[in-house]
């Protein structure tokens, strides 16, 4: 973990850096016990932690609808999806821990606000259609972001992303199917879908991060092979994928500038409200306080369970006979 | 807060056998209070979609690994022994089954 502390001089550091850069240049993967520049480690910890926290906080908006899902089928699907989000968070925490950051530390940084999560989860889920819209657009945007990350230069991160991407496909399809079902329903249900899409379209576009010109970390992250595409590239890809899906569904996106550009072979589209984005990132979105308070309460209320499990494990190690005698009394 | 962190459950590495006939393969890690809980958590975290028929868990601190930073690389000795590979030997085309 701390190879740099055992270095004898600058000469060796230069050798190690050359080795690292040649691994990146050959498109090989960096593995946890390899030497890596501190900046690379820090950038990865920040990005993977933010990603993990997003999965964990992302359970809340949809978890909100589990008890009110309209059928047993929908409830089972939503439960499985929210369980997947927990699983994705755990894969990513596991990848992050290989960089020498403990799980406890990451949780503390989430609930103290020292580390961020995706701002999309600071928007409320006001109607059941939001469950479908999140699956379609939010998970759709996440897939656009995540597929290229399967080839990221840090091995454990890429391997976690491969597992996650396989499962995200179910998330997006269940959302789209939910919306299709509602669109075949009453006028009221169709209006509910459109209203939900109107609310989530712009925040979904914000998920790709600020425009390239305002994204200071992008160039370094791409040079290190951590990121494979720029924010604007991925945003364009997402818009181009979503437009025909919206047409098939029978909804529109709330963007008067959205139209096909024959010359570019891509859609032109308007910019999200970046002032709103910055305000939400800084903590002033509709649900920031609620999301963190809920996560904090879950962590603190669960402390006695974690401690009891440790006490039980310690007692079992000390002598299994004692445990069984206690239990049969 | 530091108390909670120090009482963190130990880290386990998880290995899953995808199906009969295959090796167990490392899939990631998780925290658990003891070995039994580690197996149960591994099932929930790493095998939600029939990814496995068998799970191994082992405490991460019980693993000894080769060091990637060793000055004299551990794997160099095998690098120059090309005669260990079948392609080192040329056999005439008219010799069958070889």
What ipTM describes this predicted complex?
Answer: 0.85
Task: Give the helix/strand (H/E) hosting A146.
Answer: helix A139-146
**Model's pTM, two decimal places?**
0.89
**In this complex, do B45 and A33 lie within 8 Å of one another by their Cβ atoms?**
no
Integer Cα distance of A279 and A329 in angstroms: 60
Quote the pLDDT of residue A1. 43
Could you give the 3-state DSSP secondary structure of residue A266? strand
Candidates A94, A167, A317; nearest CB to B28: A94
**In this complex, do B33 and A90 lie within 8 Å of one another by their Cβ atoms?**
no
Which residue of chain A has the CA closest to B36?
A: A313
Give the rounded distance of the alpha carbon of B5 from its chain centre: 28
State in Å, rounded, how far the first CA of chain A is from the last one: 48
Candidates B1, B9, B28; nearest CB to A306: B9
**In this complex, do B9 and A83 lie within 8 Å of one another by their Cβ atoms?**
no
Q: How far is B28 from chain A (nearest CA, A)?
A: 6
Residue A138: DSSP 8-state: I
Which residue of chain A has the CA closest to B29?
A: A94
Q: Which tokens is A57 given? A: 């906080």
Residue whose C-alpha is closest to residue A277's, from A227, A208, A228: A208
Quote the pLDDT of residue A37. 95
Give the rounded distance of the alpha carbon of A201 from its chain centre: 17
With a cut of 50, list the residues of chain B below it in pLDDT.
1-5
Give every CB contact of residue A7 below 8 A, 6+ residues apart in sequence: A13, A16
With a cut of 70, list the residues of chain A below it in pLDDT.
1-10, 320-329
Quote the pLDDT of residue B8. 87
Interface contact A316, partner B, CB < 8 A: yes
pLDDT in tens, A11-52: 788 989 999 999 999 999 999 989 999 999 999 999 999 999
pLDDT in tens, A279-327: 999 999 999 999 999 999 999 999 999 999 999 999 988 876 454 544 4
Quote the pLDDT of residue A279. 96
Quote the pLDDT of residue B67. 77
Interface contact A97, partner B, CB < 8 A: yes
Interface contact A252, partner B, CB < 8 A: no
Quote the pLDDT of residue B76. 80
Quote the pLDDT of residue A10. 67
Q: How far is B88 from chain A (nearest CA, A)?
A: 27
């Amino acid at each position: 973990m701390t190879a740099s502390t055992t270095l004898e001089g600058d000469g060796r550091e230069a050798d190690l850096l050359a080795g690292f850069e040649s691994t990146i240049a050959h498109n090989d993967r960096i593995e946890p016990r390899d030497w890596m520049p501190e900046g690379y480690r820090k950038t990865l910890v920040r990005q993977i932690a933010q990603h993990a926290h997003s999965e964990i906080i992302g359970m809340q908006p949809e978890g909100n609808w589990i008890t009110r899902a309209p059928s047993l089928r929908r409830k089972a699907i939503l439960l499985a999806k929210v369980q997947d989000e927990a699983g994705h968070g755990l894969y990513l925490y596991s990848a992050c821990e290989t960089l020498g950051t403990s799980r406890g530390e990451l949780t503390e940084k989430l609930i103290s606000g020292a580390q961020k999560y995706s701002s999309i989860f600071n928007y409320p889920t006001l109607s059941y259609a939001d469950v479908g819209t999140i699956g379609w657009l939010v998970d759709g945007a996440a897939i656009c972001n995540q597929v290229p990350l399967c080839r990221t230069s840090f091995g454990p991160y890429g391997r976690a992303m491969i597992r996650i991407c396989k499962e995200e496909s179910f998330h997006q399809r269940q959302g789209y199917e939910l919306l299709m079902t509602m669109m075949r329903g009453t006028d009221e249900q169709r209006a509910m879908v459109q209203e939900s899409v109107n609310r989530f379209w712009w925040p979904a576009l914000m998920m790709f991060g600020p425009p390239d010109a305002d994204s200071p970390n992008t160039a370094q992250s791409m040079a290190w092979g951590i990121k494979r595409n720029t924010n604007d590239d991925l945003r364009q890809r997402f818009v181009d994928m979503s437009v025909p899906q919206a047409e098939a569904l029978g909804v529109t996106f709330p963007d008067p500038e959205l139209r096909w550009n024959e010359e570019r072979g891509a859609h032109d589209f308007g910019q999200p409200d970046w002032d709103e984005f910055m305000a939400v990132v800084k903590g002033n979105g509709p649900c920031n306080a609620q999301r963190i308070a809920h996560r904090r309460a879950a962590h603190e209320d669960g402390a006695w369970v974690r401690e009891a499990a440790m006490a039980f494990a310690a007692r079992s190690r000390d002598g299994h006979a004692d445990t069984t005698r206690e239990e049969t009394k | 807060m530091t108390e909670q962190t120090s009482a963190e459950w130990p880290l386990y590495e998880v290995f899953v056998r995808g199906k009969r006939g295959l090796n167990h393969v490392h899939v990631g890690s998780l925290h658990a209070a003891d070995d039994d809980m580690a197996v149960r958590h591994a099932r929930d975290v790493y095998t939600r979609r029939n990814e496995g028929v068998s799970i191994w868990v082992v405490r991460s601190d019980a693993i000894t690994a080769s060091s990637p930073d060793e000055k004299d690389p551990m794997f160099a000795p095998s690098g120059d022994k090309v005669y260990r590979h079948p392609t080192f030997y040329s056999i005439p085309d008219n010799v069958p089954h070889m």
